[in-house]
Amino acid sequence: MTPGPWLRLTALAAAAACCAAVVSGALGLGAAHRGLAALALPPLAALVAAAWVAHRRLLAPALTALVSFLAAALVTPRPAHLALAGLSLASAAVAAAWCFGGEPVAPASWRDYVTLTKPRIMSLLLLTGAAGMFVGAQGVPPLSIFAVTLVGLALACGGASALNHVLDRDVDRLMRRTGHRPVAEERVAPARALEFGLALSAFSFVLLASRVNVLTAVLALVGNLFYVLVYTRWLKRSTPQNIVIGGAAGAVPPLVGWAAVTGSLTLPALFLFLIVFFWTPPHFWALALVIKRDYAAARIPMLPVVRGDRETARQIVWYSLVLVAVTLLPFAWHTAGVLYLTAALLLGALFLQLAWRLRRETTTARAGVLFKYSLLYLALLFVALAVDPLIG
């Protein structure tokens, strides 16, 4: 298949970044050269990944560009360093040129590309990331950092979701809830969705590293890779504890927000991570109880499929108890005040009540109520976290 616009954009970005790194190195710009060189790595890596999976004819120049670029970073003698950097630039330029060959392919609908980013899930992730910035700043964060961080985080979340569509297209076709997704229904070719996801992921790192800080960019990338490679590719199809371990990916956005305004990670940031981490199992298991037949048809070992409804409801209660206890940590550590504590107790009491009712009467109706409330619960809890320092 001919490379699409997203891969072409990524290849042009890789070539341009290599060019900027070579020029800045030749001019002896020091720190600026090192920064520009670091920004070239994400699009180069994305180009190699797309070439490896879907466009093998691009693999030789793309891989040559990446390997010679990394080799240049390790070689200190100036002539050899410049030669390797020049080889990287030339190879990246060849890969970019080859992306524009072949017959044009009809573009997919922009609505399908929006669907690939899973905007409803992204909105909750962005909310927790924004709250992390407010809590880290203990007030209103700088507007420029706030805006850039949310855009970078949105790119990372959207890129991971698009790659999830590619990897899960086989099981998505077997489930009623996901059977109409763009890649599952072949409205977007897997190669196009792959290019789109890799492009968003690469540009997320470039934006966050250049305009916020490297720690923020690394955290967003780690969350992206954990969701795609660890959860989607491995855990989801191999263990009923998939969502317990995989929930770590969804818990990263508050860390991204915290790191954006503080430049570091401290224990209070971990509390925000733990809240989302322990919220994830009861949230997803409630959904799994509602659509257990879908998961069984797709042979995904979600807990209700493997252990049954009653055991799943029991686990939901235990995780809900731990969740409510964890939500008290920000107040105990003096990171949040009375407003947040009140919200955490009231919201948590209703969460526990719904979980206990599900334990006593395990029906899809009660599971559906808990699932819907869990979304509202997390949103309101993190809104309280964000608002609390403003009135403290």
How does pLDDT run across 107-126, given as a tens digit for each residue? 778 899 999 999 999 999 99
Two tokens, residue 102: 């072949």
Residue 103 lies in a domain: no
* Stretch among 99-103, 264-268, 288-292 having the lowest mean pLDDT: 99-103
Residue 104 lies in a domain: no
174-216: per-residue pLDDT in tens? 999 899 999 999 999 999 999 999 999 999 999 999 999 999 9
Q: Which of 98, 122, 138 is the last residue of a domain?
A: 98
Residue 108 lies in a domain: no
Query: 234 with 371, same domain?
Result: yes
So what's the pLDDT on residue 206?
A: 93
So what's the pLDDT on residue 360?
A: 96
So what's the pLDDT on residue 371?
A: 97
| Distance (Å, whole) CA 225 – CA 202 | 12
Q: Which of 36, 64, 98 is the last residue of a domain?
A: 98
pLDDT bucket at 391, cuts 50 / 70 / 90? confident
Q: Could you list the residue range(s) of the whole structural domain that residue 309 is in?
A: 114-391
SS3 of residue 22 by DSSP: helix
> Which amino acid is residue 169, in one-letter code?
R
* Mutual angle of helices 309-327 and 338-360, in 10-degree steps: 170
What is the pTM for the complete model shown? 0.92
Mean pLDDT of the chain, nearest integer: 93
Structural domain count of the chain: 2
Residue 385 lies in a domain: yes
So what's the pLDDT on residue 102?
A: 63
Residue 148 lies in a domain: yes
> Phi, psi at residue 241, to the nearest 5°?
-90, 15
Share of the chain above pLDDT 70, in %: 98
Query: 186 with 50, same domain?
Result: no
Instruction: Give the mean pLDDT of 153-172.
Output: 96
Most confident of 1-5, 21-25, 124-128, 237-241: 124-128
Q: Taking Cα atoms as reference points, which of 86, 93, 50, 55 lies closest to residue 68?
A: 86
380's CB contacts (< 8 A; 6+ apart) are 343, 347
273-331: per-residue pLDDT in tens? 999 999 999 999 999 999 999 999 999 999 999 999 999 999 999 999 999 999 999 99
pLDDT bucket at 367, cuts 50 / 70 / 90? very high
Query: 206 with 323, same domain?
Result: yes
Cβ–Cβ under 8 Å, residues 42 and 201:
yes
Q: Taking Cα atoms as reference points, which of 230, 252, 251 lies closest to residue 242?
A: 230
Q: Encode burial over 345-376: b for 16+ CB neighbours within 10 A, e otherwise.
A: eebbeebeebbeebbeebeeebbbbbbebbee
* Stretch among 41-45, 73-77, 341-345 having the lowest mean pLDDT: 73-77
- The DSSP symbol for 106 reads P
So what's the pLDDT on residue 299?
A: 92
Instruction: Give the mean pLDDT of 255-277.
Output: 97
30-74: per-residue pLDDT in tens? 777 778 888 899 999 999 999 999 898 899 999 999 999 999 888
Residue 350 lies in a domain: yes
So what's the pLDDT on residue 33?
A: 79
Query: 186 with 138, same domain?
Result: yes
Is the pLDDT at 81 greater than 90? The verdict is no
So what's the pLDDT on residue 35?
A: 82
pLDDT bucket at 392, cuts 50 / 70 / 90? low
The CATH number of the domain where 340 resides is what?
Answer: 1.10.357.140
